[in-house]
A and B are shown apart, each in its own frame.
Chain A
Amino acid sequence: MTKAPVDVCIIGSGAGGAPMALELGRAGFKVVVLEKGAHYHPKDFVHDEILNSRRNFFMPLPWEEPHLWRKGPTARYERSNSAWTANCVGGGTVHMSGYFYRLKPVDFRLRSTLGDVKGANLADWPISYEEFAPFYDKAEAELGVSGEARPHPFAEPRSGPYPLPPLDVHPIANEIDRVCGEMKWHSLSTARGIISKPYKGRSACVYCALCGSYGCEMGAKSGTNANVIPAALATGNVELRPKCMARSVEVDKEGRAKSVIYLDAEGVEQEQPAKIIVVSCTSVESARLLLNSTSSRFPKGLANGSGLVGKNLMFSSFGEARATFRLSKQKAARPWLAEPAPFVNRSLQDFYVMPDDRFGFRKGGTLGFMWTHPNPIFAAVGMAGSGKDGVFGKALKDKMRAYRDSRILQFEVYGEFLATPGTYVTVEPNVKDKYGIPVAAITVDRHPMDFAATRFLVERGEEVLARLDPDEMQRVGIAGETTILQHGTCRFGSDPATSVLDKDCRAHEVPNLYVVDGSFMPSAGSVPSTLTIAANSFRVASNLVRKLKKG
């Protein structure tokens, strides 16, 4: 059935889609938001690990909606649930941890900084940090960010303080500050998309320990579901349609986007015509939607005359190590270790860019320190392990008892993930999801510099952990990727031969089609990208509103 036409149809309600809906609704345009997942409310967010993390409350089931995944172009695809983020109103911002870093000026000119790196496909952004920064301010104010700017060698310029003071932290943060200081490194306070004080009618964080991977029943986590979506709906101009899965974007004879075909909550096919169509379903899923939107005008997929849709996929390079403190052994020296305060909120960015390549790389990244996630089933499954290293019985119970006597500090690496010709998204016509739509197929072939950088960062983090006098240390990984952080499948740039989108995130080939998730990013930066995606969406919305008002 064909619905009544609207000004703008937005596909996706996460960090990218929601700010667009808010700004267009505020400006008086009629907007429909199609969201694949359900609309959860605070009462739905309970700290039940089985519900939240072990079933399909947030993530699709891999046998119903698989992603295909392979390492290198000759490997066989495996079905996976990698590279999904939450499917619900608010998207990945609902179950995120909310590490709200900004990119740094160097991230906007990676190609100029590093030169032509062999085996990588680097590009500068068509805009500078200085042009982008006002929208970081805007996004921080709209969403609510708690933080404290500290000076350091790679500090990005800010126009003022964070909207909210930093969250309270565990006393271990002071020790991290001290040992970093001893090494002449700069321990930073990690900005969080979690509000430390009441803000815009939302309650402040109550410091429960189960944050990342859960929705926040207090509304203190700055997901777009907490504030942006409700504010958009309050304009009276925005209609939100949950459980609606977009199948394709259709074009008219002139090659302009004219409508979105989707399956509604009852599984019935619908068509939503709109003057402007905005795609924001994550880098992997947006590429999939465009590649599945074929027509005689765009036989290779919408806006894909260049063949670039799906290319230059980037995740975030991942490494991790842990330090375990036994409470019984450390009780006398550090009685405060047992305090339940959930946040550590310390980061290191001293190795964001190296002055030369003596360690095999120049672009490094960020180390974020935190307590390990307290989900007990997740922790115990990790203790049990598998195969020859796996344990059960008394050995497993001893590990569980030791865990009770422990605080485990970890760091995560957010390392540069250089774009390569071998890392991309395609669609696989023969593998379909439960809707009958061909699924996304992901091929990953990473640049060796990423691994050199990530290993280096893990080693530096381990130096910090070792100086904290833990009872045990464990390296978890030095060569992983964080697939919930996705970028690059529809790069923006000024040259249509090398980019899918223009500077305003409008498709070069389709004048009324926009993409506003992480797809636009020519480089991923070496921090989690949620805040950047939201800020960019506010920027794109601001330019679009101005353009539409001009007529």
Chain B
Amino acid sequence: MARKRSSGRLTRRSFIQRLTFFGGGVVLLGSTACKRPAEETPKAEKTAEAPSVGDSPHGTFTGLEFSTMAAASERIVPRDEDPGAKDANVPAYIDRILQTPEMKQMKTDFLQGLAALERRARSMFKKGFAEATPEQQDELLTIFKDSGEGSGEAHFYELLVVLTLEGFLGDPSYGGNKGRVGWHLVGFDTVGTVAMAPPEGYDGPKCLRECGDHR
């Protein structure tokens, strides 16, 4: 998608800016953390306004976008004998985390990628991504995955995987990992007990907003 439209919203430079921090061991997606509004940095390049969510019950996505995103995240971590992304409330996590002001650029990229996924589904399968069969959905996600480093498709796929896994395996207070099903799947429920994973009542998003402001 973006290669053809590189004069538009997603320039080569912004790709590099974002791809480099996906490479390392520490992955940063941006956040509201520790920021006062006055410190918000001006955007390096103009980005189109995100589509209006309208009367959608979601904070980031329209109803259609939400179903596309939910269907895509479910293919990353599908339900089988163990719970999948939807069971863990991953879509709610992604909707919520992309509302944080410092993830604005990510949100723009994600919505753009999601729109490309939906367009591609309609041209390939003559139906929306959410209505396509799981095999068709996997076929399309594989195309995105294999599009090559620096492509908009691969960038979106990486965002999708990272956000899905954050929602599946992050602290439940962020809205995902419902019932700690993600932690159970990877065995972190036992390690996590020893590791003193945050207690009941812990509010990660609040910490993320207020960290460092202990005046």
Contacts and interface: CB of A to CB of B under 8 A. Distances in A.
Interface of A: 37-41, 44, 46-51, 53-57, 59, 61-64, 66, 69, 78-82, 88, 206-210, 213, 217, 243, 267, 340, 342, 374, 376-381, 384, 386-388, 390, 392-394, 396-397, 400-401, 403-405, 434
B38 A397 contact: no
B57 interface: no
B28 A55 contact: yes
A51 B185 contact: no
A48 to B, nearest CB: 5
Given A48-B198, A405-B187, 19 more contacts: A41-B214, A46-B207, A48-B171, A51-B208, A53-B26, A69-B20, A88-B212, A208-B196, A243-B212, A267-B39, A380-B186, A387-B148, A392-B145, A393-B77, A394-B78, A397-B77, A397-B82, A403-B186, A403-B187
A85 B30 CA distance: 17
Contact of B198 (A46, A56, A207): A46
Contacts of A50: 166, 170-171, 174, 204, 208
B162 interface: yes
Nearest to A37: B212
B41 interface: yes
Nearest to B27: A54
Contacts of B105: 63
Chain A interface mostly: loop
B99 to A, nearest CB: 14
B65 interface: no
B186 A44 contact: no
Contact of A379 (B186, B194, B195): B186
A21 B14 CA distance: 41
Contacts of A57: 33-34, 208, 211-212
Contacts of A63: 17-18, 30, 41, 44, 105
Interface string B164-197: 0110111100100000001101111011101111
A403 B149 CA distance: 27
Contact of B211 (A38, A243, A374, A405): A38
Contacts of B29: 54-55
A56 B80 contact: no
Given A390-B145, A392-B75, A384 B186 contact: no
Nearest to B23: A80
A38 B77 CA distance: 37
B17 A62 contact: yes
A78 B20 contact: yes
A387 B147 CA distance: 7
Nearest to B142: A392
Interface of B: 16-18, 20-21, 24-31, 33-34, 38-39, 41, 44, 75-78, 80, 82, 102, 105, 138, 141, 145-146, 148-149, 154, 157-158, 161-162, 165-166, 168-171, 174, 182-183, 185-188, 190-192, 194-198, 202, 204, 207-208, 211-214
A63 B191 CA distance: 34
A547 B123 CA distance: 78
A210 B25 CA distance: 16
Contacts of A380: 165, 168-169, 186
Instruction: Report which residue of A49, A217, A388 has the largest number of chain B beta carbons within 10 angstroms of its beta carbon.
Output: A49
A46 B170 CA distance: 13
A56 to B, nearest CB: 5
Contacts of B149: 387
A209 B16 contact: no
A393 B75 contact: yes
17 contacts: A47-B195, A47-B198, A48-B198, A54-B26, A55-B29, A62-B21, A63-B18, A210-B195, A267-B38, A376-B183, A377-B165, A387-B148, A390-B145, A390-B161, A392-B76, A392-B161, A434-B41
A59 B26 contact: yes
Nearest to B185: A400
A48 B105 CA distance: 24
B190 A55 contact: no
Contacts of A393: 75-78, 138
A61 B102 contact: yes
Contact of A82 (B24, B38, B197, B207): B24
A400 B31 CA distance: 27
Contacts of B158: 386
A72 B149 CA distance: 21
B147 to A, nearest CB: 9
Nearest to B199: A46
